Structure 1
Amino acid sequence: MEILDRLPTSDRLQRLRLGVDQQCLLCGDGIESRDHLFSKCAHSKQIWSSILQMCSIERDALVWNAELQWLCANLKGKSLLVFSLKLAWSTFVYHVWEERNRRKFCSVARSGDSLLHCIREDVKIRVQIKPIVILDVNRQLCVAWGIP
């Protein structure tokens, strides 16, 4: 849904003439849209930058479409890094959207570090389920994600 820009973000709801507050619930700065929520929001940007750092990838987070193109171009193959980054991306999108909904409907907020911890745990559990051989090349990645 997020790839097709079908999430009910406040900018989409406003276009449907539903009177909603358009302010981003995560950072309080900017209009909540898919692009803002997942790539421009300071809260989300910090989390995604931390994920990239845990994968030893040095690059600036870009706008949504550019980030998606980069992921599609680079997430090929069966390496542990590719597998972990695919999991991290999907759990990142899931947890950011979940956090947005928690704040909107339950008035409960978690910190970026708390969300990063949830993402890290999800990736760790899913990687541990998959039978993999941890090579020396992957040791740093395993340490960063807490994979034994």
Structure 2
Amino acid sequence: MDNLERRRCNRLPTATCVLCHLAIETMDHLFFQCSFARHIWGYFTRLCQLPDAPRDRIAVWGDWRAAVRPTCRLTGDLIVKAIVWSIWLARNACIFNAITMSSDAILYKIDHLLLFWFSSAPEGTREKLDFATSAIHRSLEF
């Protein structure tokens, strides 16, 4: 939000997070601490049996990633990237196009994005993603 303000692109009257409206938007808030982001993280950490969600950008590639079982690191890495990318797109859609989406709609998009990425993985890598692929398929069927 500070960058938008400096560039005179901020159409909003405040620097409050557009996803939760509860705190000032910072990178750590937007991707890890916002109630919107926490809901998304909670879903994927439970679904794929990952450690509790990281609290900030330093932890995600440090302590949190180290706590992920080595056999699940590839899955964890892809989930982190999909969550951050999807939250960023949702935030920008809200700011620049006045489009708001529920966290459940974002979960659905992330599920499909991950399934696409998993199916695009090289043959030897796909087996490492089988558990997560199955879990996501089951959640979509539910």
When normalised by structure 2's length, the TM-score is 0.77
Alignment pair present for 1:48 and 2:41: yes
- Code of the aligned partner of 2:59: A
Q: Which runs of 5+ in 1 are unaligned?
A: 1-9
1:38 corresponds to:
31
In structure 2, how many angstroms separate the alpha carbons of the residues matched to 1:124 and 1:23? 33
Answer whether contact 2:18 2:91 (CA < 8 A) is retained. yes
Question: How far has the Cα of 1:12 moved from its partner?
Answer: 4.2
Alignment pair present for 1:120 and 2:114: no
Once the two structures are overlaid, the 10-residue window that deviates more, 126-135 or 84-93, is: 126-135
2:50 corresponds to:
57
Instruction: Report sequence identity in percent.
Output: 22
1:1-148 counterparts in 2 under 5 A? 10-14=1-5, 16=6, 21-74=14-67, 79=71, 81-130=72-121, 131-132=123-124, 134=127, 140-146=131-137
Q: What secondary structure, in the 3-state scheme, does the structure 1 residue paired with 2:17 have?
A: coil
In structure 2, how many angstroms separate the alpha carbons of the residues matched to 1:70 and 1:91? 19
Answer whether contact 1:24 1:31 (CA < 8 A) is retained. yes
In structure 2, how many angstroms separate the alpha carbons of the residues matched to 1:28 and 1:76? 35
- Code of the aligned partner of 1:115: I
Answer whether contact 1:23 1:29 (CA < 8 A) is retained. yes
In structure 2, how many angstroms separate the alpha carbons of the residues matched to 1:95 and 1:41? 14
CA RMSD of aligned residues (A): 2.8
In structure 2, how many angstroms separate the alpha carbons of the residues matched to 1:85 and 1:60? 11
In structure 2, how many angstroms separate the alpha carbons of the residues matched to 1:89 and 1:117? 15
When normalised by structure 1's length, the TM-score is 0.74
Q: Deviations over 1:55-92 (max 9, x none)?
A: 11242432332233134435696x4x322221111111
**Higher helix proportion (structure 1 or 2):** 2
- Code of the aligned partner of 2:136: W
